[in-house]
């Protein structure tokens, strides 16, 4: 019976849960607040005594209020790499372990970053719309794009994903430099002390860093103006790292040339002004999601939940208690 299985609270729900709900449900009894007619805080109070583990996605914040409503909670598994949606300070205080996806998505995210960049440079999505609108048949002249090779690319955040992006673009003939919290001794690409300095020497910025108080709105109008009128920004990290209002202003006024965006400040609510811009390519926060990565994260989530309930070591533990 389901009630005999370990209880796991779902906050989200993550895409991996939607894709593998049947398989998950054979091993765990999932509590799904979105299926309940009662408010979330009441739902949490009702199940507070039985919830020792929770699964969440980056789209659902795990606040101190939620944590305080779950006194028996001892483990949170997030299906994302980022943990900015979880109050880690409160988790440490309350003795709640946290684990994330680690480097599981790095290849997929790096591929998407390169794909977005090539799309913006070569105007692939805009060209698709051009052909489907019948404009090619009318002999309308389509504007030229730009080649990728030889471009100066700045990587903002040289972690695993940033390094994977850098390797791919370097192999395609781009000239790489980077900024990060610290200079990486094992990275041979030139290091810049801050994002302003990086933007001033680059044609392209690829945002790969974590969202923190220090990086919130770090990519603002000053950075965009330093990047220049031919500059392109690609963001596969977190939406709030870019000041979206500044980005729109700069795109609309020709102060930068284009953007490839997988993430936004208020997802899934994307500012409609972006829809009118042919020099912007957007995807619905899917850089991490492929058939292969979803299967891999399913196996990681199941493995970590099994480990937690059997008191075994966790994989990709972010908060240890």
Residues 156 and 235 in one domain: yes
Residues 149 and 272 in one domain: yes
40-57: string of b/e by CB count within 10 Å (b at 16+)?
A: eeebbeebeeebbbbbbb
pLDDT attached to residue 59: 84
Q: In degrees rounded to 5, what are phi and psi of residue 154?
A: -105, 125
pLDDT attached to residue 14: 84
Does residue 228 have a pLDDT over 70? yes
Distance, CA of 110 to CA of 120 (rounded, Å):
16
Burial (0-12, 13-18, 19+ Cβ within 10 Å), 178: buried
Residues 269 and 298 in one domain: no
Residues 152 and 274 in one domain: yes
Mean per-residue pLDDT of the chain: 95
Domain span holding position 22: 2-104+291-319
Residues 129 and 254 in one domain: yes
Q: What is the pLDDT of residues 260-289, one digit of tens each?
A: 999 999 999 999 999 999 999 999 999 999
Average pLDDT of the residues in 37-51 = 94
Does residue 232 have a pLDDT over 50? yes
pLDDT band at residue 2 using 50, 70 and 90 as cut-offs: low
pLDDT attached to residue 58: 87
Beta strand residue intervals within 211-271, DSSP E: 232-235, 258-261
Residues 6 and 100 in one domain: yes
Residues 83 and 117 in one domain: no
pLDDT band at residue 4 using 50, 70 and 90 as cut-offs: confident
Structural domain tally of the chain? Answer: 2
Contact status, residue 78 vs residue 99, Cβ threshold 8 Å: yes
Residues 278 and 300 in one domain: no
Which uninterrupted H or E stretch holds 127? helix 124-132
CATH number, domain of 126, equals 3.40.50.720
Tell me the Ramachandran region of residue 134: left when phi exceeds 0, alpha when psi lies from -120 to 50, beta otherwise: left
Does residue 3 have a pLDDT over 80? no
pLDDT attached to residue 1: 46
Does residue 53 have a pLDDT over 70? yes
User: Catalytic positions, please?
Assistant: 238, 267, 285
Burial (0-12, 13-18, 19+ Cβ within 10 Å), 272: exposed
**Which candidate, 49, 47, 38, 80, places its Cα nearest to that of 62?**
80
Residues 122 and 93 in one domain: no
Three-class secondary structure assignment of 133-152: CCCCCCCCCCCCCCCCCCCE
Residues 43 and 159 in one domain: no
Q: What is the pLDDT of residues 185-207, one digit of tens each?
A: 999 999 999 999 999 999 999 99
Residues 297 and 256 in one domain: no
Counting residues of the chain whose pLDDT is more than 70, the rounded percentage is 99
Residues 180 and 73 in one domain: no
Distance, CA of 307 to CA of 301 (rounded, Å):
10
Contact status, residue 305 vs residue 6, Cβ threshold 8 Å: yes
Q: What is the pLDDT of residues 121-147, one digit of tens each?
A: 999 999 999 999 999 999 999 999 999
């Amino acid at each position: 019976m389901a009630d005999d299985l370990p209880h796991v609270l779902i906050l989200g729900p993550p895409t991996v849960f939607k894709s593998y709900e049947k398989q998950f449900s054979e091993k765990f009894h999932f509590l799904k607040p979105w299926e309940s007619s009662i408010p979330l805080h009441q739902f949490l109070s009702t199940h507070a005594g039985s919830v020792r583990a929770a699964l969440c996605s980056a789209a659902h914040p795990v606040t101190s209020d939620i944590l305080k409503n779950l006194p028996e909670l001892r483990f949170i598994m997030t299906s994302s790499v980022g943990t900015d949606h979880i109050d880690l300070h409160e988790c440490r205080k309350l003795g709640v372990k946290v684990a994330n996806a680690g480097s599981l998505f790095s290849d997929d995210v790096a591929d998407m970053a390169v794909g977005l960049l090539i799309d913006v440079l070569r105007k692939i999505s805009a060209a698709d719309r051009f052909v489907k609108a019948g404009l090619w048949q009318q002999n309308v002249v389509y504007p030229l794009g730009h080649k990728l090779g030889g471009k100066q690319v700045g990587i903002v955040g040289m972690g695993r994903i940033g390094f994977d992006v850098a390797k791919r673009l370097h192999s395609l003939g781009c000239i790489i430099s980077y900024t990060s919290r610290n200079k990486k001794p094992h990275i041979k690409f030139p290091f810049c002390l801050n994002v302003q300095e990086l933007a001033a020497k680059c044609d392209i910025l690829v945002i790969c860093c974590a969202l923190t108080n220090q990086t919130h709105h770090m990519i603002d109008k000053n950075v965009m103006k330093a990047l220049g009128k031919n500059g392109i920004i690609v963001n596969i990290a977190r939406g709030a790292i870019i000041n979206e209002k500044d980005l729109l202003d700069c795109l609309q006024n020709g102060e930068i040339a284009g953007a490839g965006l997988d993430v936004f400040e208020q997802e899934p609510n994307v500012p409609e002004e972006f829809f009118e811009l042919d020099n912007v390519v957007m995807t619905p926060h899917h850089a991490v999601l492929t058939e292969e990565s979803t299967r891999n994260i399913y196996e990681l989530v199941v493995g970590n939940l099994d480990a937690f309930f059997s008191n075994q070591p966790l994989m990709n533990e972010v908060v240890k208690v």
